[in-house]
Each structure stands twice: as C-alpha cells, then as structure tokens.
Amino acid sequence: MLKPTPSAILFVCLGNICRSPLAEAAFRHEASLAGLDVTADSAGTGDWHVGRPPDPRAQATALRHGIDISTYRARQIAPADFQRFDMIFALDGDNLANIRRLAPAGHRAHVGLLLDMVSGREGQAVADPYFGDEAGFDVTWRDVQAAARALVSRF
C-alpha cells in the first residue's frame, strides 16, 4: 500500500479531451466512493485543444457511468504541475517520455504510467479512442476505471 494518501494527482494524455479527462473522472469517482480527500486534474502534453471541453464521445461515455465531465476544459501540462501534484500519470509511453522531458530539475512529483497501477497491465497504454468510434471510448473507460480502482486500493 502507498501511504499517506497523496493530496493531488494529475492524469496526462496528448490532447486532454479523451483519455485523461476520463481518467480524471474515473479516479474522482472511485476516490469519492472510498472517502479519500484528494485533488484530481488532467492535462495534455499538446496544446491543440486548450480551453475546449472533452470530446463529445468522452462526455457521453462518462455520462453512461453517471459522471458529468462537460465542465472540464483541456489544458496543457505546465512546469508548476510538477510541484503542485504528488503524482503525475501518463496514459501512454510517448506521453510519459514527453512528461519526463518537460519535468523541471528537482521536481517533487512521482511520474509514471497509469496502467502500471493495474496488476498484469504494467507497461501498457490506455487505449486511445480518438480516431475510432464510440466503442473505443468504452474500452478506454474500462482501462481508466481499472486503473482508478487499483490506485484507490493502494491508499
């Protein structure tokens, strides 16, 4: 088990409109169910979608699970995030490499791959649904929900 509970966790994908907002939503939900007092946020390594809401397919997927993410807005990861957050989770290896490259010297955040939290899924990427159909968002939800549950269970 990880102890003590970190106060802030950031989930990061490429554009911050599909995978990372779903990861944020899944984690917030699971943390709430477990009674954890923790901040969750999401960001992207790219700036293409800054200020935009999550992809409509991501919003629909979250709503099917009782979670409204329509107020979320995409943002790009910033140097201050490495001091603000205890843990920063990348949704795939490319974004993990980008995050590590962006990390300022002496940062305090633990940086890792999200699915490393799920036994048997270590080193795997969360499925990227952006160029597919709505069914891909269900696969992504299953990935981030499993990671959220595994992460919460460690505290």
Q: Which residues pair with 43 in a beta bridge?
A: 12
Residue 139 three-state SS:
helix
Read off the pLDDT of residues 30-48 as tens digits, 9 standing for 90 and up.
999 999 999 999 999 999 9
Q: Tell me, yes or no, if 37 is annotated catalytic.
A: no
Read off the pLDDT of residues 72-131 as tens digits, 9 standing for 90 and up.
999 999 999 999 999 999 999 999 999 999 999 999 899 999 999 999 999 999 999 989
- Provide the 10 A C-beta neighbour count for residue 99: 23
Question: Annotated catalytic residue: which of 18, 19, 41, 143?
Answer: 19
Whole-angstrom distance, CA of residue 101 vs CA of residue 88: 13
Whole-angstrom distance, CA of residue 74 vs CA of residue 22: 12
Question: Annotated catalytic residue: which of 41, 55, 81, 128?
Answer: 128
Q: Tell me, yes or no, if 64 is annotated catalytic.
A: no
- Domains by residue range for the chain, with CATH: 8-150 (3.40.50.2300)
Q: Tell me, yes or no, if 128 is annotated catalytic.
A: yes
Q: pTM of the predicted model, to two decimals?
A: 0.94
